[in-house]
Every structure is written in structure tokens, then in C-alpha cells.
Structure 1
Amino acid sequence: MRSLPPFPDLRAFLGWAESHGDLARITRPVSLRHEMTAVQLEALRRGGPVLRFAAHDGPDMPLIANLFGTRDRVAAGLGLTLEQIPDFGRFLASLRSPAPVEGMRDAWSRWPMLRAALATRPRVLRRAPVQDQDLPGLDHLPVQTPWPGDGGPLITWPVVMTRPHGTDAADLTRYNLGVYRCQVLGPDRLILRWLAHRGGAAHHRSWQRAGEPMPVAIALGADPALLLAAALPLPETVSELGFSGVLRGARTELIACRSVPLMVPASAEIVLEGWVHPGETAPEGPFGDHTGYYNAVEPFPVMRVSAITSRSDPLYLSTITGRPPDEPSVIGEVFNDLALPVIRAQIPEVQDLWLPPAACSYRMAVVRIDKRYPGQARRVMMALWGMLPQFSYTKLIVVVDGDLDIRNWDDIAWAIATRMDPGRDVMRIDGTPMDYLDFASPLEGLAGKLGIDATTKIGAETEREWGVEMRLDPAHQARAEELLAEVMP
């Protein structure tokens, strides 16, 4: 499926970007406190390149930012062009639910699927670049303080690796990889902010019940496939380590940690190793978040760093999170297209789904369906809310007919204004799970859901005859364009 070669590490991806004129080197000094945030956001809003900061007011280590600041680079991180994303989404959907093989010809046609399955098995190495040297402490990393109201330096692109209590370090299928922000407290301590529904938090609870410290490893500057696999909303039964092999088109190479019983990416730039002890927490935040607001200060687990290994000349990868557009919202746009075939496999009448980036990428969904029977829009709403944990945080779903462009706000507004009655077509649910960062919710972690059926009403949904929509003859429209092209070139 890939049209680009595998990128075994971050450097290979940066080399590809630079060869395409998509990397800029900034040599003038930039402050890690707030100023670098402004530069990153301005580059992203302009659709700009990957940024490599050579000079800043932190330790002498190059800082990489805006890695996935465009949809094209997110697709490239998967080894694809943007046009290939829908096909790749269908391929991933087929991996989840493969059809039975029908004959030898069909078996040979499945070879890409078989090769992808083989790529999910990681390879364990004895030596790796990420263990070329040891770093004395977290103060040797150029960690940003992104926003003026932030509580301190924040590691923003960490791939946090954990496993549940009772498993072995070699049981790689049980690992969880998540991108959880990490507040630096000192040279050997940081805070891990993971929400209760995330895999890292579930593993932490298993170690707490056993009364034992939990091993944790954090990969900084991993290869693009591993970064994107850790950020994808994968089902709990799918290993991010294995799935990264599918995305990369090559097996993931791992190395045993020096001080904790975990395996980590051999090609990462930096690895932090350490332990989270039962009951040890610290107040995290405040920090600017994807909502455009600072989150409240809350206790989260503390990681005591036991070792920091790196390449001999490491790069530090960073990003910032804020009100969209930001880098996570750009990634979310591509993931939206990637996930659509999986959604359609579960809810076949869905023709398209859009998570508007301006609505924090998941708080609102607009769905286009092939409507065939009364009540179908409500069935689709309930199916989406129950399909993936991420949709449990979607507080507004608007369902429209197949004749509209759901990425056009004018079409959405017109459908709501002309195909929806507030007394009949609004479904409201109370007391459902919600991201506690939603300050509009009356209680932390609990809020309502709103579904708007903006489809044409049929059958028992209405007692009135529905209006006839006005449409021009396509031939007349084409003639108009032809005539106006002569006088309005």
C-alpha cells in the first residue's frame, strides 16, 4: 500500500522532508518559554515546513517541531499520499474483519494483508542507537514551556510505554503506547497525565492493586509510524507496537531497557526509564489544552526517572497543543479519513463523517447517511456514541442526508434550518461520560449529549407532505458556466 519507503527513524523522515523542501532550519536564537510556541503556530497556520531550531535558551540539543503540521506530512508519516488515505483505511478495516478466502487467486491477492500481518511482529535487538550514551538528567533536554499560564516545562510528544501487572517484559502484545503529556518537576522526576479511560491509567491501577511500583519507559523522537500508532484511537485489543509495523511497512525494532523491565524502540532519539510508586502523585498543571483553555490543577502519578539513554547526537521532538488549528487537530483530520471505512463497516448507512477541527476534533460530529427508514438517524447517533471510547466524548452529532456536503457549513446550517424541528428531531441524553476538560459540563466527567436529526423526514416521522427541493437542470447550469466564461474569464 505504501508509495514512500519505510522511515526506520525520525531522521529518515526529516531527510525525506528536507529533500522535498519541507524542512526549515532556524539558526537565530528562540526562547523555549512561549516564544517558540508563537513560531510553531505561525508556521502551522501558513502550512509551513518542519522546523529545526538550532539555537535556543536551553541545553545544546537541536529541537524539531511542526513535524505533522500539514495533512500531507501526516499521510507521508504513514508512507502514503493524501489520495491514498481512503484506500489505506479500507485496507485497515479489512485487517480487522477479513473476508473468507475464495480460491488460490483470492489468496494471492491477499499477499499485502499477509505481509502487513508479518510486519506486526517486532524484532528484539541486542544493541541500539538509542543507548549510545547516558544523559545525567531531564535538565539536559530542551523542554518547552508552551503558554504563559503553564505550570512549568512540558514534554509534549512522549510515547509512554506501560504493561499491566502480572505480565512479562517480553509479552509485547500487552503493552500500551500512549501520548500523555509529562510535566518536568526536576532532573529525575516528572508527572504522567493520563485520563482514567486510557490504557496507561488502566495498567497503573493494576500495579497499585498489587502494591508494587510500575515500570514506565518514554520514547522521545520515535519514528513517524510509532508516533502515529500511539496517537491513533485503536481498539484496546490492538497492539500499538504491532500496528506500527503495519503503518511502517517494516517490523518494529526494540531493545531492552537498562533499568526497568520493558522493551523500547531501538531507533528513538531519547528514552526515559523509571518507576511509578503506588500512591505517589503531585499536582499537575495548569497547562493550555486543545480546548483553548487552561486545565485545572489535579494530582497525577509521579515517575521517578532511573535512566536516560540517547543517541550520540540526539534530536528533541516537541509540539504544542492549543485551540485549533494545532498539530493534533491536523493529525485528527487525516485520522478522520482513515477511520471512516472502519466506521462504515460497523454502520453501513454512513456515507461520510466529519469531526470539525474547530470543535476540538471530537466534540462534534457531522454524519451523512443513506436514509431509508424512519428513525434511522437516531440509530446512527446511538451507534456512534457506543462504537469507540473516543465517541463517548462527542457531545453533539448532526445527521444529514446524502445530498449534502458535510464539510460545508452552509449546507449544515441549511439542513438544520429546513429539515429539523426542535420539538421532534432533537435527542438529548443526560449523565454520560465526558472529557473533564469540558468546562461547559455541569459535573467533571459527566455531561449530556445532543443529537440533531437534520434529515428529510419520511414515513411515520411526519404527517405532512414534504416540500420539493428546487434544482436547476444540469444542462442549463453547464450552459450558464459556458456563457459566463466568455464575459467573465
Structure 2
Amino acid sequence: MRTLPPYLSLRHFLKWCEDNGQFKAVSDPVSVRHQMTAVHRAVLEAHGPVLQFNHPMDARGRRLDIPVVVNLFGTTGRVAAGLGVSLEGLDELGAFLAALRAPVPPDGLRDALSRWPMLKAALATRPKLIRTAPMQDVVRSGAEVDLSALPVQTHWPDDAGPLVTWPVVVTRPYPGEPDTVSSYNAGVYRVQVLDRNRMIMRWLPHRGGAAHHRSWAQRNEKMPVAVVLGANPATLLSAALPLPETVSELTFAGALNGQRPRMVPAKTVPLLVPADAEIVLEGWVSPTETAPEGPFGDHTGYYNPAEPFPVMQVSAVTHRENPLYLSTYTGRPPDEPAIIGEVFNRLALPTIRAQIPEIRDLWLPPAACSYRIAIVCIDKRYPGQARRVMMALWGMLPQFSYTKMIVAVDADIDPRNWDDIAWALATRMDSARDVMMLENTAMDYLDFASPQPGLAGKMGIDATTKIGSETSREWGTVMQTSDADIAFADELVDRLIPGLRQ
């Protein structure tokens, strides 16, 4: 399904960005403490290019040797390119991914041949094992490990310390359980640097890394972990996608990239790691030792409180000669996670439609933390349908567990246009009749508005036209200009006032 060539490494993608005028090298010295985030934020909010800070400085003003790359996915166009398609190709890719999730038997030879791209994608998931890789050209282990040599950012004034924000954390289940690359988990978690050779792994209980850690901790054994920095776009985005638990992010990256993922044995832990990365931090996570992680600025726009999470002892740092360090910041939208979320929501629409067919479109506003509010556009055919769709979203699809408000609108409303939404709310919703409240439902514990951590209410608003038994009044008729009159007006205005409508 790719329309762009595969990017075998971060450097391949940076070259594509440069060739397309979306890359800028920064020669000025910029501190990794607060300054880099401020510059990144200003450029991201202006829909600007990828930045490479060639002269990062630490908090003491000491120059660090490793350049920092930020704003990699600072536009939806670059997120799509990282997936191998243009923005126009996202819908086709979404349909392809939905078919991979729920394949159906082919209907004859012609149908089978039409599915060759899907078969090719499946074959591309088989990892290719290699013996050596450039990201192991430099190996520092034991007493040589010093995380302060990495340009890890401190993003916000009240952050507890340096925070690794674009790691692909690779884990595997306890030996004796299925132990192949297909059983690996690769997740993007927050990783706090404690000192020269220790870090804190912030994985929430429902995430794959935490599940693997439990399988080791139950035997009171430390777990091998690899923190991959600067992976290729397919691996980065696969690690961030909400994939089914049965799908390995590393093998899925092969399908996404159209290439078999290249893996190499780590130096000090029993793991295979992506061979085309920039830097890999190897180590062991204790079954029992924890440390307070945070506080850190989060995607809500607030600092989250410090909480205990497992500690990782770093046994080795391996990297390329002259590596790059990939980073980002997390904060009140817009930020890179919110922009990636916009694209992922569009990719998920075909899968959502497969389960709730009357949904025409769905938008999760980035300003609402990318998941707290959903606007769902439906083909309404019977009374009560809007409520049924809202309850289906909350009950059938795990990604809507933390969505605290859903607004249902008709097919004539653009769910991405706040003016359209406001008009539907003002003219098609009665506050007493059309608001549905749920109590004591699951909620993101970072939602400080919740009465109890992890438990809160949800609200559904039916802003659709009321039909049948939903109303006893005759409904108004929407005013519309005919297509012929619109075309006449457009031609006349363009001729009389050139450029007005551009």
C-alpha cells in the first residue's frame, strides 16, 4: 500500500524531509534544558520543518557531541510520509489495515490476486537476523556507561529531571512462554534518567511492557530491556499505534515498511533489537526496585504527580559513529503526539465503521487531548440511534474508554468544523432531552477534573435531527442554495473580484 519508498533508517527519512524542503539544521548552541523545547514548540505551532540541533548544550553550558533531531512528525503530512503514503492515501491505508485486522476468504481467483499486496505485507513481517549493525560500532558497557553524555532534554520548568521522550522500549515475555520476535512488545513509554546508569520505566499496567515485566517479577527475576533511540519511521509509528495485543509492533513495522525488519542480537541482554537504529540502551529492570517518576509536564497541559515505577540498570550503550538523538516534547496540544493522533484516528475509521456501520466520520479534536472529546457523524435512520452509537463507542472499542464526551451529529454536519458543531448543538439539541450522563466509568487518572482518580462520568450529546418518537413537533427545514445558483454565484464573483475566494 506504500506510495513512497521504504525508509530503512531515521537518516533515510531525514533525507526525504531535506529533499522536500522540510528539514533545517540549527548551528546556534541551544540548551537541552528548556530552550530546545521552546524552539521546537514555536516551529511546530507554525507547521515548520524538522529541526536538527547540531550544537546542543547541557544544563551547565557544556557542549554535547550528539546532534538532536526534533519535530520529526510535526505535521500530518510528515506522519503520513512516515507511514509511506500521502495524506490522500491515508484512507486507502486505513482500509488496508482494517482488512489485515479482519481478513475474509477470497471470492475466486481474481479476488485472491487482488490481495497480493496484503500477502506481500504479511511476508514482510518476518524479521531478518543479521550479525552486525552500524548502531553497534561503538559499545560502552559496565563502568563506561554514562547517560549524561546523551543530550536528554529537560522540557518544562517544574520537570523532575531529564526525560527520554521518543524511546522504543523493547521487551519480551519470560522464557518458557512464546519467545520469538513476534512475541516482543515495542512501546513508546516515558523514561526518566536517574543518574549515569539508571533510568525509570513509566509503563502503565495495561501496556505490553508492564505485562511482560509482571511475567518476570512473578519469578523474582530481572527483565532484559532495550531502549531503542532513533528507529526508522515505520518502527516509531508502529510502536505508537494501538495495535491488537496479538500483533507485534516490530513485525508490523515490516508490513508497514514493505521490508523485512532487520534485527541484531543485543550485546549484554538476551534480546534482538532493530539493526538500523541510532542508539540502543541495554539493561535490566528490577522485579522489585522502584523510584518516584516525575512530576513531568504531560499531554493534558498539566504536570502529573510523581508515582513509583520500575528502575532499569543500564548495562550497555551502543550507537553508530556520530549518532543522532531523536527527541520531542509532550504538552498541551498542539504537540507531536496530538498530530500523530490526528492521523491515527483517520486510519482507525475503517476499522470503527466495520463494527458500527452507520458512522460516516469521526473526529477527536487535538485540542481536547486527542481522545477526551469525540464528534461522531452518523447516517441517522431511526429514533434513539445516536444514543446507541455513542454507547457502542464507549462499550465496544477500548480506545474510547477515556473519551469523556461524545457529540453525535447528522451527515450534513462537518464533524471537524467547530462552527458546524456549534450550529447543530444550538438548533438540534435540547439540554433536558438530549444529554445522556453516565456515572462511575473508567477514566484516565491524569484527568484532574475526575472526582476520583481513574473513575469519572461521561456525557453523550445527541445533536442530530429528531425523528419519529424523539419529538412531538414538526421539524424545521434546513435552508439550502441550489447547486446551479452556487455555480452561477461562483463564476460571477470570480470574474468581478478576482482572487477574492482564494
Shorter-chain TM-score category?
A: over 0.9
Unaligned runs of 5+ in 1: none
* Structure 1 residue 379, shift from structure 2 partner: 1.5
Aligned residues: CA RMSD: 1.4
Letter of the 1:42 partner, please give it.
A
Residues 298-323 of structure 1: CA distance to partner in whole angstroms, max 9, x if unpaired? 11111111111111221100000111
Is 1:270–2:275 an aligned residue pair? Answer: no
Percent pairwise identity: 66
- SS of structure 2 residue aligned to 1:52: strand
Map of 2:400 onto structure 1: 391
The equivalent of 1:413 in structure 2 is 422
Counting only pairs closer than 5 Å after superposition, residues 435-450 of structure 1 correspond to structure 2 as 435-450=444-459
Instruction: Provide the rounded CA distance (Å) in 1 between the counterparts of 2:239 and 2:176.
Output: 20
Alpha-carbon separation, structure 1, partners of 2:216 and 2:431: 49
What residue is the counterpart of 2:34 in the other structure?
Answer: 34
* In structure 1, C-alpha distance between the alignment counterparts of 2:488 and 2:81, rounded to whole Å: 41
CA deviation after TM superposition for structure 1 residue 168, in Å: 6.1
1:368 is the counterpart of 2:373: no
1:421 CA drift (Å): 1.5
User: What amino acid sits opposite 1:45 in the alignment?
Assistant: E
Is the CA contact 1:75–1:85 (under 8 Å) kept in the aligned structure 2?
yes
TM-score (norm 2): 0.95
Number of the residue aligned with 2:61 = none
Q: Is 2:95 the partner of 1:90?
A: yes
Matches within 5 A, 1:315-354: 315-354=324-363
Instruction: Tell me, in whole angstroms, the C-alpha distance in 2 between the residues paired with 1:275 and 1:328.
Output: 28
Structure 2 unaligned blocks of 5 or more: 59-63
Q: Secondary structure of 2:312's partner?
A: strand
Contact 2:162 2:192 in 1 (8 A): yes
SS at match of 2:43: helix
Deviations 1:429-477 (A, max 9, x none): 1111111111111111111111111111112222222222222222223
3-state DSSP of counterpart to 1:278: strand
Q: Match of 1:9?
A: 9
2:258 corresponds to which letter in structure 1? G
Give the 5 Å matches for 1:81-160: 81-135=86-140, 136-160=145-169
Please say if residues 167 and 174 of structure 1, whose CA atoms lie closer than 8 Å, have aligned partners that are also in contact.
no
* Aligned residue number for residue 63 of structure 1: 68
Offset, 1:167: 4.6
Do 2:290 and 2:310's aligned partners in 1 also have CA atoms closer than 8 Å?
yes
Q: CA shift at 1:122, angstroms?
A: 1.2
> Residues 167, 339 of structure 1: CA spacing in aligned structure 2 closer, same or farther, 3 A cutoff?
farther
Is the contact between residue 94 and residue 347 of structure 2 (CA under 8 Å) also seen in structure 1?
Answer: yes
- Structure 1 CA distance for aligned equivalents of residues 178 and 280 of structure 2: 16
Separation of aligned partners in 2, 1:31 and 1:3: 38
- Alpha-carbon distance in structure 1 between the residues aligned to 2:125 and 2:39: 37
Tell me, yes or no, if the aligned pair for 2:238 and 2:249 is still in contact at 8 Å.
yes
Q: Give secondary structure in 2 for the equivalent of 1:250.
A: coil
Q: CA deviation at 1:253?
A: 0.8
Helix, strand or coil for the counterpart of 2:15?
helix
**Per the alignment, in what secondary structure is the counterpart of residue 417 of structure 1?**
helix
Name the residue aligned to 1:292. 301
In the alignment, is the contact (CA less than 8 A) between 2:436 and 2:461 conserved in 1? yes
Q: What secondary structure sits across from 1:405 in the alignment?
A: coil
SS at match of 2:297: coil
Matched to 2:393, the amino acid is L
Q: Is the counterpart of residue 197 in structure 1 residue 202 in structure 2?
A: no
CA deviation digits over 1:231-252, x for unaligned, max 9?
A: 1111212211111111111011
- The residue identity in structure 2 corresponding to 1:405 is D
Shift of 1:208: 2.1
Q: Which residue of 2 aligns with 1:21?
A: 21
SS class of match (2:56): coil
2:262 to 249, 253, 270: 253
Contact 2:168 2:227 in 1 (8 A): yes
CA contact (8 A) 1:368 1:399 kept: yes
